[in-house]
Amino acid sequence: MVTLKYLKDVAKRKNIRGYSKLRKEDLKTLLRNRLPRDVFEREMSGRGDDFSRSLLDEDIPELSQKPLQPTQYVPPPPRREGLKQKLRRWGNWLSRFVPEHVKRPINNAFDTFKKKVMSLFPKQQLKFKESKKSALKGFTIHHTIKKPKYQKFDPKMCLSAVKQKALEKFKPQTKVRLVLKARMEKVSPTDGSSIVEVRNFQSKTAIVLESTNLNELWIEMIEQILENITVFQMNGSGWTFHSIVSLDIHTEKYKPLRVGSWVPTPKFLANKKLW
């Protein structure tokens, strides 16, 4: 049985106007007058319940645009290997052929020599730029620690270098959240150019109390940030770490709810006479 909904669908497909307010019989008459006889009979013999039609009965559409032709995939050029990477790779290859009983004392002697040289040249104090913003009359404070301009860090090294400065902002009775801003890089699949964007990797909000172990809290928060960076790089997006921008420390005062048992009586009730 042909339904009104099916007749409206036929009129819509055939670009017939003025059918929306017509009744079933009037719409059927309109289609009979507008469509060729064989087309009208073929449409009326269709099923009006589910509109299922064979594609073989439809007219071949005319394409106004040429279909797209697939092109051969050209992989991006490999990144150029620097001298340091070549030496490290060569050293790793060479160390595989050294017996373990020979390698161990050499490594111990080299570590001792390295510590001795490092003690002769004290580590230069890195100068980080710090800025501070506050809102709501000091209720929330936003600290920003930027790395030195020409100093390169990986995420773990940067968080280790700013640890002492960051822990100075961890005051008791505050909520703290760390946000590491890093530049991430990937190669464009179209032209092979390098795309660099700034992404934020943050930790969960933690509550600092008088009894909180700051060192354990710091380790937990940076592990969350490093895990977020690893997950971001392993999701198949093609992004790789480029450089560090800054570390943001968001703090706000923590005031837990206190329960009281005394409520002052309003004056109009306290002065009211019972008799």
Domain that holds residue 18: 4-54
- Predicted pLDDT at 126: 62
Are residues 90 and 169 part of one domain? no
113, with CB counted inside 10 A (0-12, 13-18, 19+), is exposed
Does any domain span residue 74?
Answer: no
Residue pair 217/206 in contact (Cβ under 8 Å)? The answer is yes
Does any domain span residue 75?
Answer: no
Residues in the chain predicted with pLDDT less than 70, given as ranges, are: 1, 46-59, 61, 121-126, 150, 236-237, 258-261, 274-275
- Predicted pLDDT at 56: 65
- Predicted pLDDT at 49: 39
Give the span between the Cα atoms of 147 and 145, in whole angstroms.
Answer: 7
- Predicted pLDDT at 54: 59
Rg (CA), the chain: 37
Are residues 240 and 134 part of one domain? yes
Residue ranges with strand state E in the chain: 129-135, 140-146, 174-187, 194-202, 206-208, 240-253
β partners of residue 240: 185
Does any domain span residue 266?
Answer: no
| 51-72 residue pLDDT tens | 445 566 666 767 777 777 878 8
Are residues 147 and 107 part of one domain? no
- Predicted pLDDT at 178: 92
Does any domain span residue 120?
Answer: no
Distances (CA, A) of 50 to 2, 6, 11, 41, 55: 11, 9, 16, 18, 15
Quick one: three-class SS letters along 114-162? HHHHHHHCCCCCCCCEEEEEEECCCCEEEEEEECCCCCCCCHHHHHHHC
Are residues 89 and 165 part of one domain? no
Are residues 100 and 202 part of one domain? no
β partners of residue 181: 200, 246
Does any domain span residue 24?
Answer: yes
The alpha carbon torsion through 124, 202, 195, 130 (nearest 10 deg) reads -40
Are residues 246 and 152 part of one domain? yes
Look at the chain and report how many structural domains it folds into: 3
Give the span between the Cα atoms of 233 and 193, in whole angstroms.
Answer: 19
